[in-house]
Structure 1
Amino acid sequence: MPRRFLACAPALLRVLGVVAIGTAVSGCGGAGIEGTAVAAKDWGTPATSGMPTPPRPPNPGAATDATRIDAGSPVDPETYHDAKETDSSPAAPTIGFHFTTPSGNIRCSTPKEPTVLLCEVTDHTYPSAAKPADAKEPCQWFPDYAMITDEGVAAGVCLPRPLVTRGSKVLPYGSSIRMGDFGCLSTEGGLLCANDISGHGYQLSREALRTF
């Protein structure tokens, strides 16, 4: 979705001023997932009605997770710009970073300036995030998206259109990719991603969504 992603990138960046990010996941194994909506002023009324939740400190294991990511075999992130609008369309250059896990079950994208990392888990056994009752249009709820910013993490995102691309380059198992303040490690057990500024991140797999 090269052109569509280009058009959305500025709006996604403006989102950071009004994002409401809270504790989207409690514990491991996906139990207790709650939706956290994202909205920008030019998309209409924000989809959350309360005051933004203050960022929570990373858990004691965050440093260990960051070390694991840094220990991966680094790839050149500049080779991870191409993506497809659909599975059958040809790959084309974009201004963001995009990659897919070897299983094809997890896909991730960033805008031009990687201040937001969005990942989608296509097939999973944990519950999808529920759309907030006070979400206002225009709002397309993506229950299987997980998001990291420099303020925290969220499961479930409200956006005007899908922003995680398809048909992106595979990040091999054992490899790590750096995108601005974000780092991700691809393993056979799932995908581990973290933000260097906040120390927050998540581990995604078919069986669980773990946040820290």
Structure 2
Amino acid sequence: MPDFSAMLEVTRPSLAGEPTRPGEGLRARRGRTTRRALGAVCVGSAVVLALAACGMTDMPTPRRTVTVTVDAPVATAGTSPTSVPTVSATPTTPATTTAVPTSLAVGKQRGAPHSYDEAKQRIDRATSADVGSVFQSPSGNITCSTAGGQGVVVTCDVSKGRSDAPASAPCPPGGPSDIGRIELTAAGARPVCNSDTIRQGAAATLAYGVRTGPSLGSVACLSEEFGMTCVDDASRHGFFLARDTFVTF
């Protein structure tokens, strides 16, 4: 609080009929002015104290602003800062296939070998003839080719006497329901439910009791009256094909 004691000046009012000394009127006016100023200060101080008692002078304290800086993630070897899912327009799941048994026997199997060793012995005893990559039996019912491609080393199909598909190697739905072709690959011989043929015009005839020559490499086929036998010395697999019957080994 300000010290108002220095500002107070005690004045004595003049009594009626009492003479006034020179300068006394001026001091009286100054005293009244001083008292009015002091009264205004006191009233203002009282108002401030009253407001403080009511809590109205509490002013909100400004909130401090805190800035937080976060460093960007650093990529390390083999990782990236953010992981973005990728969407592929094409499926990435590989197609599944059913493995075909390498040993099948369908039909009467008359005169058919049932193993590579049995077929190989029979072929080695026969005379050879170089008939090229496409040949047929004397009846023309069986045609074979060593130009199949896609891992097929030799293919033979039958014109008449297609065989029923075994339960262990059924034909795919929507196509032929019987087997008319055998394909030999490094994995073994597989029956084919074909709707086409490998016949392409005239083909050399492989006489009965004659085998193909060495020009076919590891592949050899033997033509006999009861069917055609083919083997691959590299994979030691083979097959026998005839009317209404076949054997794979």
The normalised TM-score by structure 1 is 0.56
Residue 234 of structure 2 aligns with which residue? 197
Q: Is the 8 A contact 1:30 1:126 kept in 2?
A: no
Equivalent in the alignment of 2:190:
154
Within 2, Cα distance between the matches of 1:119 and 1:100?
9
Which fold has the larger relative contact order, with Cα–Cα distance below 8 Å and residues 6 or more apart in sequence? 1
Shift of residue 156 of structure 1? Answer: 0.6
Change (3 A) 1:126 1:141: closer
The percentage of counterpart residues that share the same residue type is 26
1:119 partner letter = C
Q: 1:64 aligns with which of 118, 131, 154?
A: 118
Other structure's SS at 1:65 match:
helix
Q: Does 1:183 align with 2:183?
A: no
Query: Larger Cα Rg: Structure 1 or Structure 2?
Result: 2
Question: Which runs of 5 or more structure 2 residues have no equivalent in the other structure?
Answer: 1-96
Q: Of 128, 135, 138, which residue of structure 2 is paired with 1:99?
A: 135
Structure 1 gap ranges (5+): 1-18, 32-58, 81-96
Contact persistence 1:69–1:176 (CA under 8 A):
yes
Equivalent residues in 2 for 1:28-39 (5 A)?
28-29=106-107
Task: Indicate if the aligned counterparts of 1:25 and 1:209 stay in contact, CA closer than 8 A.
Answer: no
Contact 2:148–2:154 at 8 Å: present in 1 too? no
3-state SS of 2:163 partner:
coil
Pick from 84, 100, 106 the counterpart of residue 22 of structure 1: 100
Amino acid at match of 2:243: R
- In 1, the alpha carbon distance for the partners of 2:117 and 2:201 equals 31
Query: For 1:126, which of 131, 154, 163 is the aligned residue?
Result: 163
Alignment of 1:40-51 (within 5 A): none
Give 1:154 shift.
0.6
Aligned partner letter, 1:185:
L
Aligned counterparts, 1:165-176, within 5 A? 165-176=200-211
Partner AA of 2:182 in structure 1: A
**Secondary structure of 2:164's partner?**
coil
Helix, strand or coil for the counterpart of 1:27? strand
1:116 positional shift:
2.0
Deviation at 1:163, TM superposition (A): 3.9
Q: Describe the SS at the equivalent of 1:116.
A: strand
Structure 1 distance, partners of 2:245, 2:138, is 18
How far does residue 164 in structure 1 lie from its aligned partner after superposition? 4.3
Contact 2:181 2:194 in 1 (8 A): no
Q: 1:74 to 1:27 in 2, by over 3 A?
A: same
Q: What amino acid maps onto 1:124 in structure 2?
A: G
Distance change >3 Å, CA 176–CA 30, structure 1 → 2: same
CA distance in 2: counterparts of 1:170 and 1:184, whole angstroms? 12
Distance 1:141 1:66, change over 3 A: same
Alignment check: 8 A CA contact 1:30 1:127 kept: no
Show CA shifts across 1:88-114 (max 9, x none).
Answer: xxxxxxxxx100101111001122879
